[in-house]
């Protein structure tokens, strides 16, 4: 492993743990502000109680799918869950659910699209090819391509790698531009 790759790996580990802790604190603060038990919050979000407990204990990696369920269940935007620090006053921020002909577009699908647009725009702005960006992130170029196409349920680990490669925070990648 090159010295640069080793430094990036160490930075990623610290950043990922910090982001996971931030998510955990925000989940707990919102759950407390809503007066919900773990069981009630999990049911409201559509995730299993044990899954919620592991996320609140920072013992589990989270995917975009799970983030969208948490945001809908807690009534906040995904970006609000990823921000530091979270205050109970942000509870009123809109969710990312939008209406489309024939029903409601899932927030997960919208979140994937939002991430894809941001990642592609930032990569092009920084004049990086797919392969260059993927190499910076330590990802296979085809996986990066799927992220840009919105075809993959990205984990927090992958989100952190992409954010680090583009010199942005995960919240910046998930925010609407």
All domains in the chain, ordered by first residue: 3-85 (1.10.260.40), 107-174 (1.10.260.40)
Measured CA to CA, the distance from residue 94 to residue 77 in angstroms comes to: 6
Across 60-171, the runs of DSSP E, i.e. the strands, are: 98-100, 103-105
Cα dihedral value 91, 97, 98, 104, nearest 10: -140
With a threshold of 0.95, does the pTM exceed it? no
Choice between 23 and 127, residue whose per-residue pLDDT is larger: 127
Nearest residue to 117 (alpha-carbon basis) of 46, 39, 172, 58: 172
Query: How many CB atoms lie under 10 A from the CB of residue 71?
Result: 25
pLDDT digits (tens, 9 = 90+) for 75-111: 888 888 887 654 444 444 433 332 333 333 347 788 8
């Amino acid at each position: 492993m090159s010295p640069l790759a080793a430094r990036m790996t160490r930075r990623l580990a610290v950043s990922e743990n910090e982001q996971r802790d931030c998510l955990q604190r925000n989940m707990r603060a919102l759950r407390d502000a809503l007066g919900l038990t773990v069981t009630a919050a999990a049911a409201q979000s559509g995730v299993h109680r044990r899954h919620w407990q592991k996320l609140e204990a920072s013992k589990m990696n989270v995917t975009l799918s799970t983030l969208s369920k948490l945001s809908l269940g807690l009534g906040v935007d995904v970006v609000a869950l990823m921000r530091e620090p979270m205050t109970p006053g942000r509870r009123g921020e809109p969710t990312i659910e939008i209406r489309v002909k024939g029903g409601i577009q899932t927030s997960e699908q919208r979140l994937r699209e939002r991430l894809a647009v941001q990642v592609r725009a930032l990569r092009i702005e920084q004049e990086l090819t797919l392969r260059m960006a993927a190499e910076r992130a330590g990802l296979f170029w085809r996986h990066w391509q799927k992220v840009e196409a919105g075809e993959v349920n990205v984990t927090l680990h992958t989100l952190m790698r992409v954010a680090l490669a583009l010199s942005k925070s995960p919240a910046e990648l998930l925010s609407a531009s």
